[in-house]
Amino acid sequence: MKKQFGIAALILCVGAFSGFAQDTSVNVNSYTIPELPGVPVIDGDLSDAVWANVPTIPMDKDGDSPAAAPGTGDLDIVLKIAWDDETNALYFALNVIDESFVQVRGFGSSAGTDGYNNERLEIIIDGTNTGDANSTTTSGFHQQYTFDLPYTYDYWGPDNDIAKKKFVAGELGYFNTLEGGIAPSSTFIPVPVFERIEGTLNLTNDSAPWDIADDYVLSAAQIRVTDPNVTEWIEAPVEINWEVRIVPFEYLEPAANLGYDITDPAEIATGWLSFWKDPAHIPLDLEPNKVIGCVPQQNDGDVWGQAPAREHQTNTSGVAGNWNSSESLTGLILGAKATAIPDWSLQ
């Protein structure tokens, strides 16, 4: 439950923070992202017509292994980002080709302390684009959203009775027909996505699968093997579609600072909705010409049977280590609706 304290002081402090200038010069790269003509269905199917006129953005840090054959690579990615005024949200679509799907951590960062080595998507946002090198996942400026897939060859993984109960009870919504394990398929199939906000909602395995309020974060994924002869997920070559909608904030105060109990069943049941609506938090009002600091990053678990190491990750900043600082984030410049950009075909 939430403790009522210090809200007025927090609002005053946050109001002072929002005066930072929006400046593309603080970013490594800058891209103009269009407003969508409509909103896509967040289901992991990237064929929605609204994505057709959105340009692709490079993800080019450590994506290919030196030993990979030309044109294959450990991580080949097509990325699109757009925004929508009516829903006041950013939209992300990623098509990932991964030569070896090694899910070393099951629920990713919910198991152990090295979940960042997992096959997972991270989206780092600084809504005010301050370029402040001290802006971290716990500062309020810098919010790091992570999206994990489960073990596909052993859906529940070890010690995940809570996840199984939620699944059987139908609390995973779109994914509640996937009872049991997920068989390899040469056609796209939906898989659960476990959502986390590091430093803001420090969610643990006790509350997995994470199910953040759809009003603020909505995600889905589909996955398939690229070799129709593969019968096991372990080290299978795969193709993943990620689809994500995020309502960005100028500032998010960590839940612990506000006295929220993130293990409270009432909070879990609503996706911590009261936390998101807390007056200490300031949603970013999206409008043309605003600049948002943001880096989407795909991590790669790499080699099965070896200690997990994020040997390959690919992102939009072109530099590694960006999750601890906002000064090297990519600048997303909110543009008008696009009309004459070539179609995007999935790999």
258-313 tens-digit pLDDT = 999 887 888 888 989 999 999 999 999 999 999 999 999 988 776 555 655 666 77
pLDDT average, residue stretch 158-166: 46
Name the band, by pLDDT with cuts 50, 70 and 90, for residue 159: very low
- Residue written as tokens 């007025």? 8
pLDDT average, residue stretch 3-11: 42
Measured in degrees and rounded to the nearest 5, phi and psi for residue 163 equal: -60, -40
Q: Which CATH architecture is the domain 7-334 placed in?
A: Sandwich (2.60)
pLDDT average, residue stretch 224-229: 90
161 pLDDT higher than 60: no
Name the band, by pLDDT with cuts 50, 70 and 90, for residue 24: confident
Determine the Cα–Cα distance for residues 207 and 263; give it in Å rounded to an integer.
7
Determine the Cα–Cα distance for residues 187 and 228; give it in Å rounded to an integer.
9
Cα–Cα distances (Å) from 173 to 41, 211, 309, in that order, read: 14, 10, 33
- Residue written as tokens 């294959």? 72
Angle at 155 between CA 226 and CA 94, to 5 degrees: 45
The H-or-E segment that residue 314 falls in is strand 312-315
Count of C-beta atoms within a 10 Å radius of residue 47: 11
